[in-house]
Amino acid sequence: MDKISENEHLVIIGNGIAGVTLAQRVRQQSDCRITLVSAESRLHFSRTALMYVYMGHMRFQDIVPYADWYWQEKKIELVHDYVERVKTSEKRLVLRDGGPLPYDKLVLATGSRASYYDWPGQTLKGVQGLVSLQDLELMEANTACTQQAVIVGGGLIGVEMAEMLRSRGIAVTMLIRDKLYWHNVLPAEEAQLVTNHIRQHGIELLLQEELQEILADDSGRVRAIRTRRGQELTCQFVGITTGVKPNVDFLKDAGIAIDRGILVNEFFETSQTDVYAISDCAQFRNSAPGQPMMEQLWYTGRLHAEALAATLLGNRKPYQRGPWFNSAKFFDIEYQTYGTVPAQFTEQHASLYWQNEAATKAIRLLYDKETAKLLGINLLGIRYRHDLCHHWLQQGYTLHRVVQELPAVNFDPEFFQRYEEELLRQYYTRFPEQQPPVKHSSWWDLRKQFGLFSNSTSC
């Protein structure tokens, strides 16, 4: 039985967005004992805002949304300690500094850490990833006297790190394995736009290049790197942003089945009774066709927590994520993606794509060539209403119906008149049999029609 009783103890390892959301949702409907354990920080903080602390835009206390009194009021206990072992047979945790911590139900929300690939010199001073608060503190120390930096990898953490370093006047070179930045994720047009934009911000991109080794000075600190092509780049800091892997090393003797991550079913149950895993550290045993085995996003971390909370409160339902969503920022260009927009299209795919002359804004609507069903949306430099995009994909709208509602999805009606009409002209050229509507839908009309957007948000 999953439902937690009021005399049971729920222990959550990890106080990121997943762990905290779970604790909050359970507390709303249960008086059970709840304990949050974290070695990283005693108080939950906004991980996505860490970069702004380094850049001087915010202080650390500014990214801590809940003060001590909040946790006391909610009767959620906080333990700032490192979990060395999980003894599932005894239902207790072994802490590094504190005594044993018993549990009735345990949730693993331990997040992830930077992935390294056994490069010579990767343990030198000045070489690090950027995932945790401790990574940020280390970066402060490592870049105190840095003039030149190399970032290995072209993911979202990489471009964040590049922006952080440039804010302090540090010269940055990024090693990108593909022929364009994020070309394994974005279609060629979007990847080219983002690549050009990053370069405009003073970042040197070495495309189709990889790290061979990291070279040391006499003090054991990085002095340069050597690439696969033999180029030597002087640097005092090397950022490793080649992906992340789950924090699961402490579970090696716990008897919990692990592959890349902690294996879970659609209810986030692990191989051990009363032990669950969510967010970055969880891996679905049987993911749906076309869906990832691991969902390592802020957005999905929150969804995992909400789904598991429902199960623990007695409303047992399998997890269903719905349409994929992600958002990010490439310096001053915002990025949103909904549904499926692969880097490489198949014969089944067709799309409408628009980009402004300054190459700072772009829209792509991907659809099925045969049925015209909308498959996904890419947005750069433009923000659409999250609820409406989600609704289009959830309900299986065709491109034809989406086009009728396009004016309602943009927050700026004037933007539609200036730019998105070009997208419509492209559409009507491709589908001349489709007649323009006498009147375009408005967002308020759609709210009234479907009654679905009373909690409208944008992301």
- Is residue 408 within 8 Å of residue 443, measured between CB atoms? yes
Q: Is 67 exposed, middle or buried (0-12, 13-18, 19+ CB in 10 A)?
A: exposed
Among 287, 312, 337, residue at a domain's last position: 312
Lowest mean pLDDT segment, chosen from 203-217, 380-394, 414-428: 414-428
Question: If residue 49 lies in a helix (H) or strand (E), which one and from where to where?
Answer: none
Domain of residue 385, CATH code: 3.30.390.30
Residue 188 belongs to a domain: yes
* Percent of the chain surpassing pLDDT 90: 85
pLDDT of residue 422: 84
Residues 6+ away with beta carbon under 8 Å from 292:
none
Domain of residue 261, CATH code: 3.50.50.60
- Is residue 128 within 8 Å of residue 144, measured between CB atoms? no
Nearest to 436 by CA among 407, 393, 397, 394: 407
Residue 121 belongs to a domain: no
**Count of domains for the chain:** 3
The more confident residue out of 450 and 249 is: 249
Model confidence at 459, in pLDDT bands (50, 70, 90)?
A: very low
Beta-bridge mates of residue 38: 80
Alpha carbons within 13 A on the beta-carbon side of 138 = 15
Measured between alpha carbons, how far is 349 from 107 in angstroms, rounded to an integer?
40
Does the pLDDT of residue 125 top 80, yes or no?
A: yes
pLDDT of residue 423: 87
Question: Token digits for 68?
Answer: 């001590």
pLDDT of residue 402: 94
Identify the three-state secondary structure at position 149: strand
Lowest mean pLDDT segment, chosen from 103-112, 254-263, 280-289, 364-373: 280-289
State whether 378 and 444 are in the same domain: yes
Measured between alpha carbons, how far is 78 from 72 in angstroms, rounded to an integer?
9
pLDDT of residue 411: 76
Does the pLDDT of residue 455 top 60, yes or no?
A: no
Q: Compute the mean pLDDT over every residue in the chain, rounded to the nearest whole number.
A: 93
State whether 345 and 269 are in the same domain: no
Mean pLDDT of 265-292: 93
State whether 237 and 249 are in the same domain: no
Does the pLDDT of residue 70 top 70, yes or no?
A: yes
Q: Is 33 exposed, middle or buried (0-12, 13-18, 19+ CB in 10 A)?
A: middle
State whether 350 and 434 are in the same domain: yes
The more confident residue out of 407 and 384 is: 384
State whether 329 and 285 are in the same domain: no
Model confidence at 456, in pLDDT bands (50, 70, 90)?
A: very low
Nearest to 382 by CA among 423, 333, 442: 333
Which tens digit of pLDDT belongs to each residue from 194-220? 999 999 999 999 999 999 999 999 999
The side-by-side arrangement of strands in the sheet containing 374-380 is: 325-330, 333-339, 374-380, 362-368, 349-355
Does the pLDDT of residue 45 top 70, yes or no?
A: yes
pLDDT of residue 438: 52
Among 289, 312, 335, residue at a domain's last position: 312
Entry pTM: 0.91
* Percent of the chain surpassing pLDDT 70: 93
Residues 6+ away with beta carbon under 8 Å from 426:
352, 354
Which segments of 112-165 are extended strands (E)? 112-114, 127-128, 148-152
Model confidence at 449, in pLDDT bands (50, 70, 90)?
A: low
Among 242, 259, 282, residue at a domain's last position: 242
Question: Token digits for 219?
Answer: 């003090």
Mean pLDDT of 121-129: 98
CA angle at 138 for the pair 241 and 157, rounded to the nearest 5°: 25
Model confidence at 129, in pLDDT bands (50, 70, 90)?
A: very high
Does the pLDDT of residue 454 top 50, yes or no?
A: no
Domain hosting residue 90, numbered range: 9-113+245-312
What is the β-pairing status of strands 333-339 and 325-330? Answer: antiparallel
- Is residue 161 within 8 Å of residue 331, measured between CB atoms? no
Which tens digit of pLDDT belongs to each residue from 230-272? 999 999 999 999 999 999 999 999 999 999 999 999 999 999 9
pLDDT of residue 13: 99
Helix 421-430 vs helix 399-409: crossing angle, to nearest 10? 170
How many CB atoms sit inside 10 A of residue 327's CB? Answer: 19
Residues 6+ away with beta carbon under 8 Å from 345:
187, 351, 366
State whether 226 and 254 are in the same domain: no
Question: Token digits for 443?
Answer: 């967002």
Question: Token digits for 294?
Answer: 């691991």
pLDDT of residue 1: 60
State whether 338 and 441 are in the same domain: yes
Does the pLDDT of residue 458 top 50, yes or no?
A: no
Does the pLDDT of residue 420 top 60, yes or no?
A: yes
Measured between alpha carbons, how far is 353 from 378 in angstroms, rounded to an integer?
9
State whether 230 and 249 are in the same domain: no
Does the pLDDT of residue 419 top 80, yes or no?
A: no
